[in-house]
Amino acid sequence: MSQPSTTTAAAPGLRALVKDWGSDRQTFHVPWGKAMMWIFLLSDTFIFGSFLTGYMTVRMSTTVPWPNPSEVFSLHIGNVSVPLLLIAIMTFILISSSGTMAMAVNCAYGGDKRNAARLMFVTAAFGASFVGMQAFEWSKLILDEGVRPWGNPMGAAQFGSTFFMITGFHGLHVSAGVIYLSIVATRLLRGRYDGGHGHGPNYQIVEIAGLYWHFVDLVWVFIFALFYLW
């Protein structure tokens, strides 16, 4: 895609901002796919932001004690109870997947589509294992601890509803990301983005898919801090 930004590129900082927003045809001088992904992620930010705000509201306003996440989500190794162990592992897995995703973007822009696809599959595998661990966590909570969306034996009833809604929605995003990355990586290997008809190869799609994946990791940062550590 050719960029009509030879004049706008020259102006730095705030002057460029005013010029971009005052321009005739196009405000965002980035590929349209990237601008659209960012706008989608902004709307997703509002969804998760509203979920977390709702969670804050019910947690602050309940007079019944909130179940202690540090104990609820602990794992027993031998006779020792390690707080939040599974959640910590899940956190590290998601961060690792963000790392491999960043590497994939780097490879793609370097023109190395084979390694870019390989790293995207690694990222998707990390994501799939994250979802697997979440399934384990959910079943432990539902079957062993008796947590339900309408109540639980440990305290405030809202614990279950907010937990299942927020982590469920996030898990859905991770699952969608695994599928999305797998599709893009497969297409990348099959040469769909290699160009033709006078165009050279364009691997921008890897960065755009990466934006989505990093966002999923970003949301987990907030869930980890506000739900599990509060």
Partner 1 sequence: MSATAGQQQHPIKLYLLIWGLLFVLSTMSYLVDYFQFHGLLRWGLIILFMLLKAGLIVAVFMHMAWERLALIYAILLPPGALMVLVGLMASEAGHTYLARLLYFH
CA proximity to 62, closest of 166, 141, 154: 154
Q: How far is the CB of 171 from partner 1 (least distance, A)?
A: 19
**56 or 179: CB nearest partner 1:** 56
Q: What angle do CA 210, 218, 171 make, to 5 degrees?
A: 85
What tokens does 104 get? Answer: 């994939």
**106 or 129: CB nearest partner 1:** 106
**17 or 179: CB nearest partner 1:** 17
Q: How far is the CB of 207 from partner 1 (least distance, A)?
A: 6
Nearest-10 Cα torsion for 77, 83, 89, 92: -150
What tokens does 223 get? Answer: 């869930």
Q: How far is the CB of 88 from partner 1 (least distance, A)?
A: 5
Positions that interact with partner 1 (CB under 8 A): 1, 3, 5, 8-9, 13-14, 16-17, 20-21, 27-31, 34-35, 38-39, 41-42, 45-46, 49-50, 53-54, 56-63, 70, 83-84, 88, 91-92, 95-96, 98-99, 101-103, 105-106, 109-110, 204, 207, 210-211, 214-215, 217-218, 221-222, 224-226, 228-230
Residue found by looking up tokens 């930004």 in the block = 5
CA proximity to 216, closest of 106, 105, 93, 107: 93
